[in-house]
Amino acid sequence: MVSRSYSNLLDLATGAADQAPAPAALGALRRRLPRVVTNSGLIDDSPASPSTPSPAPRPRTIVVANQLPIRSHRPASPEEPWTFDWDEDSLLRHLHHTSPPSMEFIYIGCLRDDIPQADQDAVAQALLDTHNCVPAFLPPDIAERYYHGFCKQHLWPLFHYMLPLSPDLGGRFDRSLWQAYVSANKIFADKVLEVINPDDDFVWVHDYHLMVLPTFLRKRFNRIKLGFFLHSPFPSSEIYKTLPVREELLRALLNSDLIGFHTFDYARHFLSCCGRMLGLSYESKRGHICLEYYGRTVSIKILPVGVHMEQLKTVLGLPETEAKVAELMEKYMGKGRVVMLGVDDMDIFKGISLKLLAMEELLRQHPEWRGKLVLVQVANPARGRGKDVAEVQAETYGMMRRINEVYGEPGYEPVVLIDEPLQFYERVAYYVIAEVCLVTAVRDGMNLIPYEYIVSRQGNETLDRMLRQGKPEEKKSMLVVSEFIGCSPSLSGAVRVNPWNIEAVADAMESALVLPESEKRLRHDKHFRYVSTHDVGYWANSFLQDLERTCKDHDKRRCWGIGFGLRFRVVSLDLSFKKLSLESILMAYRRAKTRAILLDYDGTLMPQAINKSPSAESVRILNSLCRDKNNEVYLCSGYDRRTLHEWFPCENLGIAAEHGYFLRSKRDAEWQTCIAAADCSWKQIAEPVMCLYRETTDGSTIEDRETILVWNYEDADPDFGSCQAKELVDHLESVLANEPVSVKTTSHSVEVKPQGVSKGLVARRMLASMQERGQCPDFVLCIGDDKSDEDMFQLIATAACGDSLASKAEVFACTVGRKPSKAKYYLDDAAEVVRLMQGLSYVSEELALANHRDEDDDSSPDVWE
């Protein structure tokens, strides 16, 4: 078994790594080879060509997480082998139990125990043979800085809204820890590459420990089918943007095909970060939230994880569980005690101290519960370490002692703290006897404790008899949960609290105790229906189905990678959508006899900027193109005609102002209108509405043109501006319903213009005018960058099938930026458009010079006469 990670991600393909050949078991795991291997050893990632169909392989998912769902047992002597068994409490292990039998899982991750280097090969082979697991062995220095360093000192606190305001609060950013994090992720990537068959396998990456792993995998296989699920909260953009490597992590996550979150809040924060830091927008497609990232569709999945129902039912039926329940009933209920239960890790975000303060407040306000109410707090060992953990422990013990001293009495302690690890059946027994479960985390990911409590309180026949519940409808449970945990939105019957409000939490605890029994039963029934139908199997199958749906068109698109390091990303385009080749269009331009050129201005010839006026070079290029007698050039823009007249002093340039309402064929021609003269009295209705939104949206402006009103929010907060724009559109459509106008949205504005005005109409008028003059163009170039230009592209495509163009006309409809469009070609940005237009102008000047020389040759006398 290959035990050491490759230092170069290409080593697996080129054979450059100095590793022994993979054994038969690993070969079986990698049984389905990629389609084509070139001479250089690199995978040809072009779309598959039709071939003889082969039997469908068994679906396989490679699950990658920080830790394997394995418990390892150290040998008693060096001569004995390590032994392993499944960790049945692990969420990853539950995937295997709850998925269809046809699905095969391979697990990649670290072991909890440090394996001596001499044993690593044997351990890896044993895990592969017996458990389908591939261990990732991290060097000790990297493992320490990766997990306890970057993960626990930077990511985990930040994702739980803890800013490093001082060295004691998470610590300042340490780039060496970041480098260790990246190195560890690369080792995980190498392990995936050892076993993956990229044509068929799905890869499912879990949690914040492996956030840059998608970049390494996408870089190696552009069409890899890759999902990522974040099990922790994702902070708001105001918190997240303090991270120095914020953009690298966002871009790495966007190299996934599907990104999962527990709640809409977490997903919304992620989408907000993508919008504010990367300029990306999202949309809903048939109920699925999607981002377009360089032509790739990245889907967002919102679904909380569930519990393993069968495991819980099995544990509830164990004799050990029944015995423990009987013991606890005698200890508490036999003495007339009412048990409230808390189960939390001993860390700063679980709110244990807040819970104890609320318990103290309840006993102070309600003396009738003294001697009767017991809070049992199970404190699991903290996953991290450091001074903050020690402080939480000291504070918790101090509060417990204080409460017990003040409100305790002989034989009664109001707070019972269990700080030793419990077996799962013991925890379930506490769930069974607890009247109320209390979760007061100040920030948490999912937290399955409330779900486990609900299922345990449902119980079974034996436990029902023990608890003296004769009928199923008598089952009851009560939850008091923090509104800052991931499961809170799905538990609508729980009493939700702000854990920082001690008095409110105490009141919630008391109300949960005294609520009528019928109400408790109704809430329990509602919760149990949800938890039992949304278990871990439902969650896993739903995620994998969405991953398959998102990836189904991978082989139908052209893909290639761009960017270096962690800024790497993959461009994915439809097979019919191509980048406009400068060489091919120059050749077509040179061949053509009659040319039609339509150009948008803002965002096409001129990049989006504060100064909207054209550069001297842009004016020179347009003048050069317009001097070519074979060219008909039109500039289409939303700006008013006076501004365009001043900006472009080009004699033969046709200009369409205000999206085509005003039109002229050359500078000295009269302005015409493409439709009947518009009545602009509607502005008296629309302008006050826009003024209202301008006043309430800082950074927005209003532009009043002759026939158009524009509300621009380019300089406003992007989220608020977008929200206001949607409201403004609805408002304007309502008040202008009886007016002959249309309300349109662009990337950063809302426009109101007369009905029937479009740039498509400009293209039709231009081609009709040329046809009347007997000049059917054999070359058409149309370039634009936003939704208003799509009408031009559609008209040009339709004209290619009609008689307004030459029979063999070459048509180039081109959008700026890689995005869904009716155009067949694209250019990356305005700078590329300018370079293209420069090339065309050079050809025109070259042809003009050649014609001038020919004319001179024809007019000169023959020297031999």
Res 677 pLDDT > 90:
no
pLDDT of residue 849: 85
- Among 261, 209, 224, CA closest to 65: 209
Q: What is the Cα–Cα distance from 316 to 667, expressed in whole angstroms?
A: 87
pLDDT of residue 34: 39
User: Which carries the bigger pLDDT value, residue 660 or residue 781?
Assistant: 781
Domain(s) of CATH 3.90.1070.10: residues in the chain: 681-754
Judged by average pLDDT, the poorest of 143-147, 215-219, 417-421 is 417-421
pLDDT of residue 103: 81
Domain(s) of CATH 3.40.50.1000: residues in the chain: 578-675+758-851
β-pairing, 83-86 with 70-73? antiparallel
The CATH number of 60-74+81-302, from 3.30.750.24, 3.40.50.2000, 3.20.20.450, 3.30.230.10, is 3.40.50.2000
pLDDT of residue 524: 93
The most confident of 163-167, 258-262, 606-610, by mean pLDDT: 258-262
The 10 Å Cβ neighbour count of residue 561 is: 16
Name every residue whose Cβ is closer than 8 Å to that of residue 759 and which is 6 or more positions away in sequence.
598, 600, 636, 656, 659, 660, 784, 788, 789, 791, 792
Structure tokens at 87: 């960790």
CA 587: distance to chain centroid? 42
Is the CB of residue 537 less than 8 Å from the CB of residue 99?
Answer: yes
Q: What is the Cα–Cα distance from 235 to 384, expressed in whole angstroms?
A: 20
Residue range 309-534 in CATH 3.30.465.10: no
Q: What is the pLDDT of residues 172-224, one digit of tens each?
A: 789 999 999 999 999 999 999 999 999 899 999 999 999 999 999 999 999 99
pLDDT of residue 6: 31
Q: DSSP character for 551?
A: H
Res 55 pLDDT > 60:
no
Res 418 pLDDT > 70:
yes
Q: What is the Cα–Cα distance from 816 to 230, expressed in whole angstroms?
A: 34
Q: What is the pLDDT of residues 334-377, one digit of tens each?
A: 888 999 999 998 888 888 999 999 999 999 999 999 999 999 99
* pLDDT (average), residues 626-649: 90
Q: pLDDT band for 38, please (50, 70, 90 cuts).
A: very low
Average pLDDT, the chain: 86
Q: What is the Cα–Cα distance from 371 to 311, expressed in whole angstroms?
A: 36
Q: What is the pLDDT of residues 749-778, one digit of tens each?
A: 999 999 888 888 888 888 888 888 888 899
Is the CB of residue 267 less than 8 Å from the CB of residue 709?
Answer: no
The CATH class for the domain spanning 578-675+758-851 reads alpha beta
Backbone angles phi, psi at 41, to 5 degrees: 90, 0
pLDDT of residue 221: 93
pLDDT of residue 855: 65
Is the CB of residue 291 less than 8 Å from the CB of residue 300?
Answer: yes
Q: pLDDT band for 95, please (50, 70, 90 cuts).
A: confident
Structure tokens at 849: 């010079």
What topology does CATH give the domain 681-754?
Hypothetical Protein Ta0175; Chain: A, domain 2 (3.90.1070)
Q: What percent of the chain has pLDDT over 70?
A: 90
Structure tokens at 715: 């300089």
Is the CB of residue 103 less than 8 Å from the CB of residue 145?
Answer: no
The 10 Å Cβ neighbour count of residue 334 is: 10
CA 46: distance to chain centroid? 26
pLDDT of residue 817: 81
User: Which carries the bigger pLDDT value, residue 414 or residue 31?
Assistant: 414
Q: Element (H or E) spanning 130, and its range?
A: helix 120-131
Question: Reduced to 3 states, what is the DSSP secondary structure of residue 75?
Answer: coil
pLDDT of residue 853: 75
pLDDT of residue 341: 95
Q: What is the pLDDT of residues 499-536, one digit of tens each?
A: 999 999 999 999 999 999 999 999 999 999 999 999 99
Is the CB of residue 294 less than 8 Å from the CB of residue 394?
Answer: no
* pLDDT (average), residues 383-397: 80
Q: What is the Cα–Cα distance from 61 to 540, expressed in whole angstroms?
A: 11
Burial of 51 (C-beta count, 10 Å sphere; 0-12/13-18/19+)? exposed
Q: What is the pLDDT of residues 261-287, one digit of tens each?
A: 999 999 999 999 998 899 888 888 888
pLDDT of residue 384: 65
Distances in Å between the alpha carbon of 115 and those of 68, 86, 125, 180? 14, 17, 13, 20
Domain(s) of CATH 3.40.50.2000: residues in the chain: 60-74+81-302, 309-534
* pTM given for the model: 0.79
Q: pLDDT band for 412, please (50, 70, 90 cuts).
A: very high
* pLDDT (average), residues 696-709: 92
Q: DSSP character for 412?
A: B
- Among 528, 521, 496, CA closest to 509: 496
pLDDT of residue 11: 37
Res 260 pLDDT > 70:
yes
Burial of 407 (C-beta count, 10 Å sphere; 0-12/13-18/19+)? buried
The 10 Å Cβ neighbour count of residue 551 is: 19
pLDDT of residue 470: 52
The alpha-helical segments, DSSP class H, found in 736-829 are: 759-772, 790-799
Q: What is the pLDDT of residues 97-144, one digit of tens each?
A: 777 777 889 999 999 888 888 889 999 999 999 999 999 999 999 999
Is the CB of residue 348 less than 8 Å from the CB of residue 312?
Answer: no
* Sign of the torsion formed by the C-alpha atoms of 852, 854, 855 and 860: positive
The 10 Å Cβ neighbour count of residue 466 is: 15
Indicate left, alpha or beta for 58 from its phi (over 0: left) and psi (-120 to 50: alpha).
beta
Radius of gyration over every alpha carbon of the chain, rounded to an integer in angstroms: 34
Q: DSSP character for 524?
A: H
pLDDT of residue 614: 87
User: Which carries the bigger pLDDT value, residue 761 or residue 430?
Assistant: 430
Res 20 pLDDT > 50:
no
The 10 Å Cβ neighbour count of residue 526 is: 14
Name every residue whose Cβ is closer than 8 Å to that of residue 316 and which is 6 or more positions away in sequence.
428, 432, 455, 456, 459, 460, 463
Res 417 pLDDT > 60:
yes
Judged by average pLDDT, the poorest of 383-392, 473-482, 560-569 is 383-392
Q: What percent of the chain has pLDDT over 90?
A: 53
Is the CB of residue 253 less than 8 Å from the CB of residue 289?
Answer: no
Q: What is the Cα–Cα distance from 358 to 346, expressed in whole angstroms?
A: 18
Res 390 pLDDT > 50:
yes
Size of the chain, expressed as the number of residues it contains: 865
Residue type for position 536: V
Q: What is the Cα–Cα distance from 840 to 630, expressed in whole angstroms?
A: 12
